[in-house]
Amino acid sequence: MLTIVGSELKTNTNLKKECNTLAKPLPNPHLTKGRVPDRAGGVICRKHFLNRYKLEKIERIFIMLIINFFLTWLVAALSLLITAYIVPGFEFDSFGTAAIAALILGLVNAFVRPLIFIFTLPFTIITLGLFLFVINAFMLWFVGVLTPGFIVTGLFPALLASIVLTIVSTLLGLLVRNAT
């Protein structure tokens, strides 16, 4: 097992040697004062144990972020499929197409939508936020243009789909959060 100590990458044997040379020898070998048991047997000093614990905590957080990303992606794809079932003129060829469209929609919402929102802020203020549905409809239409197998026949189906998609994705998101 490799462990990061400072800026160096060290193996368990190097850590044990370093801990044994740095730590004062104990009068009784059965006492492990200042040291903690290692998984592979033996003991390591507390400093290296804490470094290993921090690394494992970071790994757990990273895994949870990946699981959260995939759950969000799955909820978005299912939301798009349910919306396609409800709204005429909003169609997908398959679940794979919906998954690709969900990924592209996430990217478009992350990079393109903020720019359009800033440029159309006066209209959004005048319409008391209702223009955001038009922006969402435009984003769905744009994703339909970018994704093969995803068909949006016009502005009205995209506008209706943006409203239905908001409701469906909110409900599915709540179900997934309550389940996990």
Nearest to 77 by CA among 61, 107, 63, 97: 97
Mean pLDDT computed over 98-116: 94
What is the 3-state secondary structure of 111-131? HCHHHHHHHCHHHHHHCCCCH
Neighbours of 54 (CB within 10 A): 11
pLDDT of residue 172: 92
- Residue 87: φ, ψ to 5°: -95, 120
Q: Cα separation of 130 and 157, whole Å?
A: 16
pLDDT of residue 57: 77
The DSSP output letter for 82 is H
Structure-block tokens of residue 164: 């239905």
Question: What rounded mean pLDDT belongs to the chain?
Answer: 79
Q: Name which residue leads in pLDDT, 66 or 43.
A: 66
pLDDT of residue 63: 83
Q: Name which residue leads in pLDDT, 46 or 124.
A: 124
Structure-block tokens of residue 44: 């390591």
Match 């990273």 to its residue by tokens. 62
Most confident of 21-25, 26-30, 58-62: 58-62
pLDDT of residue 165: 94
**What pLDDT, in 10s, does the model give residues 126-172?**
999 999 999 999 999 999 999 999 999 988 999 999 999 999 999 99
pLDDT of residue 107: 94
Q: Cα separation of 141 and 154, whole Å?
A: 8
Q: What confidence tier does 88 reach under pLDDT thresholds 50, 70, 90? A: very high
Q: What confidence tier does 177 reach under pLDDT thresholds 50, 70, 90? A: confident
